[in-house]
Amino acid sequence: MTPPWDVRDKTCLVTGATSGHGLAVATLLARRGADVVLLGRHRAKCEAARDGIARETGRTPGIVVCELSSRKEIDRAAAEWLALERPLHLLVANAGLVTRHRRESPDGIELTMAVNYLASFQLTLRLLPRLVRSAPARIVIVASDAHRIATLDPDDLEQRRGWWWFMGAYAKSKLALLFFQRELARRLAGTGVTVNAVDPGPVASGIADHEPGLVAPAASWLIKRLFPSPEKAARTAMHLAASPDLDGVSGTYWRFMERKEPRYAPDRPDMDRLLWAWSVARTGVDFP
């Protein structure tokens, strides 16, 4: 009989782990005895997060430096991980951003969709063989209830025909993540790898700290003072990552410790297939 799930001594990779919700999840995992690896875009911030977690928990995380807006960088980071022959029991796809104006990634993809959605798609599928080999394993995708205000046009997923304010782009990327999670759960049935999504709710984070102008820093200042702490917001992601009660549970969406029904596109039953095909074309990776 397989013992109940326990993150102690499990290898756990958390993206966007140098601040906010990602750092809180990584810290809580380390506190529970997990072997945590932090993925972030800046080495200095990764090292600072590593040292802080080590001081607080007595466990020193590993580091993977990766610019998630770059397809080449994601492939490099995944290849380095796979070359280590290291197991992977938990992947928390947390990294995300907001941007005030339409910008493009180094690969010419609209930046919000590239970082928030396509990076998770590409990294997850690159690492999937290792997750399957390490099973039982879990994938936790950090989505958002902002997806409820979004719709996806399969002919204009990058909003080239018109930019609809930054929350619109953010919401679309989070809706895409939920389509990805649903389709991936279907494909992973019977492998021992589960995938679930979470909305942590409002988080007192610095997600807009690096945007130019005055609006983003002001919004970030208010967010940090009015929203719940990352540690409190991370409880639901930790539930999906660590609870033995969720053994075998896959394809679900959670908010505030409760299972919720996402708002998909009932008028587009083919959206899962169309979005998957578009993602494969943009990332060069498909289900192995």
| Coil vs helix vs strand at 130 | helix
Q: What is the residue type of 29?
A: L
Q: Which of 117, 170, 253, 264 is catalytic?
A: 170
Residue 253 is a catalytic residue: no
Residue with tokens 């007595």: 58
Q: Pairing mode, if any, of strands 62-65 and 90-93?
A: unpaired
Rg (Cα) of the chain, in Å, rounded? 18
Long-range contacts of 46-55 (CB under 8 A, 24+ apart): 46/17, 46/18, 48/18, 49/17, 49/18, 49/19, 49/23, 52/23, 52/27, 53/23, 53/26, 53/27
| Coil vs helix vs strand at 104 | strand
Residue numbers annotated as active site: 170
